[in-house]
């Protein structure tokens, strides 16, 4: 049941433009605006729930939420600080973190790394146990530390840094514009809701996540450099896979009527082993499993379908036998053999990971009709951790190419 108008859900957030920031709402009043605030407000409107937003320093907001003063806190990366006292929502936003330094160097754990106190970047570095960041209250202090050489670089989201460069003081701008950015990682931002609040409202989180998924639909968009990197990585993986298995031959299967496919699909979804095992335990499926195990977790799943969209081989048991109505198969109908299509970015709630499907159109087994397809489920974060996005200066747009990444000596847990 929605709350009464007098019982607004009280949410805290912290200053992190352009995601959330204070705006003048009147002569004597201030409101909270920003992209994540718009997303959160959309979800609450969909639930017909009244909500209020308050800006606080991050550490104070976390303290209040843990103390039961307030119902939720956003937008932050998953953190152990709130474990046991609050529960994580699905993603509200996706950040791209860069390490900004004068030398354009990669992040090094021995550096003096500047962050905003209580920010997602600060929590991530503190959780790693590999370095103690230099945490300050605001961006002017960060700029001053850069200016005086007291820090080696700043870890910050690209959009946040770009926003600051549009609104900073002259001294701040002079300091920050000298920095060059080196990509570090993608980070999902979430909302946390107090466990006592959720205990009183057991249906709340499920309803919120449902509306949130609708509100963020289309907002998790990878920029062109990231798409090019994923396409390049998938091209290499398809080439490797083609050396391990004859993909066209593996896509061959007898033509079936729609009724025959539907009957198999029904038994498949019911978990009938007599139906699934001839496919999941075939020689080609075993080859797919062997190949996937060597991909350094870049591939979550791989399967081959025939020209009707029916599974012929798979690295794991899929939810459906017939993929013909799935966008990842429909994409292959628009491609020439050998061409690759990437799906939209999706978030897997069970694994809390982002995934993109790469579809390779295959040549027909015979004749001139459309052939089958090979489909890879790619772990976006894992691939972008294994390859570097291009470095970029703060006056530049990210470049359109990508290169192999020199792995950091250690990676935070």
Chunked mean pLDDT (size 10), the chain, 413 residues: 66 91 84 95 96 92 93 91 93 90 82 90 86 87 89 91 79 80 85 97 96 81 82 95 96 94 96 96 97 94 96 96 94 93 80 85 82 94 69 48 31 29
Q: Which pLDDT score is estimated for 400?
A: 34
Comparing CA positions, the residue from 389, 393, 410 lying closest to residue 101 is 393
Residue 393 lies inside a defined structural domain of this protein: no
What CATH number corresponds to the domain at position 242? Answer: 3.30.450.20
Residue 70 lies inside a defined structural domain of this protein: yes
Q: Are 77 and 31 in contact (CB under 8 A)?
A: no
Residue 80 lies inside a defined structural domain of this protein: yes
Q: How far does CA 216 lie from the centroid of its chain?
A: 12
Q: Which pLDDT score is estimated for 345?
A: 84
Q: Quote the domain boundaries for residue 271.
A: 224-385
Q: Which pLDDT score is estimated for 188?
A: 86
Largest Cα separation within the chain, whole Å, is 74
Q: Which pLDDT score is estimated for 258?
A: 95
Q: Are residues 292 and 339 in the same domain?
A: yes
CA distance 338 to 282: 25
CA distance 42 to 76: 18
Q: Are residues 50 and 157 in the same domain?
A: no
φ, ψ of residue 48 to 5 degrees: the values are 60, 45
As for how many domains the chain has, the answer is 3
Q: Are residues 148 and 25 in the same domain?
A: no
Q: What is the DSSP string of 107-141?
A: P-TTS-EEEETTSHHHHHHHHHSS---EEESSHHH
Residue 399 lies inside a defined structural domain of this protein: no
**Residue with structure tokens 């007599």?**
274
Q: Are residues 101 and 89 in the same domain?
A: no
List % helix, strand, coil for the chain (3-state, nearest 5): 35, 25, 35
pTM above 0.85, yes or no: no
SS3 383: helix
Residue 55 lies inside a defined structural domain of this protein: yes
Rg (CA), the chain: 24
Burial of 406 (0-12, 13-18, 19+ CB in 10 A): exposed
Q: Are residues 290 and 301 in the same domain?
A: yes
CA distance 74 to 95: 14
Q: Are residues 90 and 119 in the same domain?
A: no
Q: Are 100 and 387 in contact (CB under 8 A)?
A: no
CA distance 247 to 362: 8
Q: Are residues 77 and 208 in the same domain?
A: yes
Q: How far does CA 95 lie from the centroid of its chain?
A: 8
SS3 405: coil
Q: Are residues 124 and 81 in the same domain?
A: no
Comparing CA positions, the residue from 282, 286, 276 lying closest to residue 319 is 276
**Residue with structure tokens 């396409």?**
231
Q: Which pLDDT score is estimated for 394?
A: 56
Residue 407 lies inside a defined structural domain of this protein: no
Residue 390 lies inside a defined structural domain of this protein: no
Q: Are residues 242 and 325 in the same domain?
A: yes
Q: Which pLDDT score is estimated for 219?
A: 66
Residue 412 lies inside a defined structural domain of this protein: no
Q: Which pLDDT score is estimated for 413?
A: 29
φ, ψ of residue 44 to 5 degrees: the values are -70, -35
What CATH number corresponds to the domain at position 157? Answer: 3.40.190.10
Q: Are residues 358 and 261 in the same domain?
A: yes
Q: Where are the alpha helices (DSSP H) in 219-311?
A: 224-244, 247-250, 258-269, 273-280, 283-292
Q: Are residues 165 and 198 in the same domain?
A: no
């Amino acid at each position: 049941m929605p709350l009464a108008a007098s019982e607004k859900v009280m949410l805290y957030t912290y200053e992190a433009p352009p995601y959330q920031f204070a705006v003048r709402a009147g002569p004597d009043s201030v409101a909270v605006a920003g992209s994540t605030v718009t997303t959160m407000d959309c979800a609450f409107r969909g639930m017909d729930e009244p909500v209020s937003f308050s800006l606080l320093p991050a550490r104070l907001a976390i303290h209040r939420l843990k103390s039961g003063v307030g119902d939720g806190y956003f937008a932050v990366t998953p953190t152990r600080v709130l474990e046991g006292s609050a529960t994580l929502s699905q993603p509200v936003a996706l950040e791209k973190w860069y390490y900004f330094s004068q030398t354009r160097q990669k992040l090094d754990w021995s550096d003096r790394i500047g962050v905003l106190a209580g920010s997602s970047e600060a929590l991530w570095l503190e959780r790693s146990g590999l370095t103690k960041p230099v945490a300050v209250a605001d961006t002017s202090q960060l700029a001053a530390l850069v200016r005086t050489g007291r820090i080696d670089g700043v870890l910050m989201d690209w959009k946040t840094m770009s926003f600051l460069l549009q609104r900073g003081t002259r001294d701040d701008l002079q300091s920050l514009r000298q920095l060059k950015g080196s990509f570090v990682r993608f980070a999902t931002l979430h909302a946390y809701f107090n466990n006592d609040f959720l205990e009183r409202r057991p249906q709340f989180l499920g309803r919120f996540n449902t509306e949130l998924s609708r509100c963020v639909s289309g907002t998790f968009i990878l920029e062109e450099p990231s798409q090019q990197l994923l396409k390049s990585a998938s091209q290499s993986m398809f080439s490797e896979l083609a050396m391990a298995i004859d993909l066209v031959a593996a896509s061959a299967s007898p033509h079936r009527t729609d009724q025959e496919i539907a009957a198999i699909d029904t038994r498949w979804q019911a978990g009938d082993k007599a139906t699934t095992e001839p496919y999941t335990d075939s020689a080609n499926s075993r080859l797919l499993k062997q190949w996937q195990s060597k991909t350094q977790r870049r591939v979550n799943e791989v399967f081959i379908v025939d020209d009707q969209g029916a599974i012929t081989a798979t690295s794991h048991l899929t939810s459906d036998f017939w993929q013909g109505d799935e966008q990842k198969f429909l994409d292959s109908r628009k491609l020439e053999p050998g061409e690759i299509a990437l799906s939209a970015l999706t978030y897997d709630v069970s694994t809390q990971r982002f995934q993109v499907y790469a579809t390779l159109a295959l040549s027909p087994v015979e004749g001139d009709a459309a052939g089958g397809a090979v489909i890879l489920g790619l772990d976006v974060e894992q691939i972008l951790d294994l390859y570097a996005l291009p470095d970029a200066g703060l006056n530049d747009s990210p470049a359109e190419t990508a290169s192999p990444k020199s792995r950091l000596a250690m990676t935070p847990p």
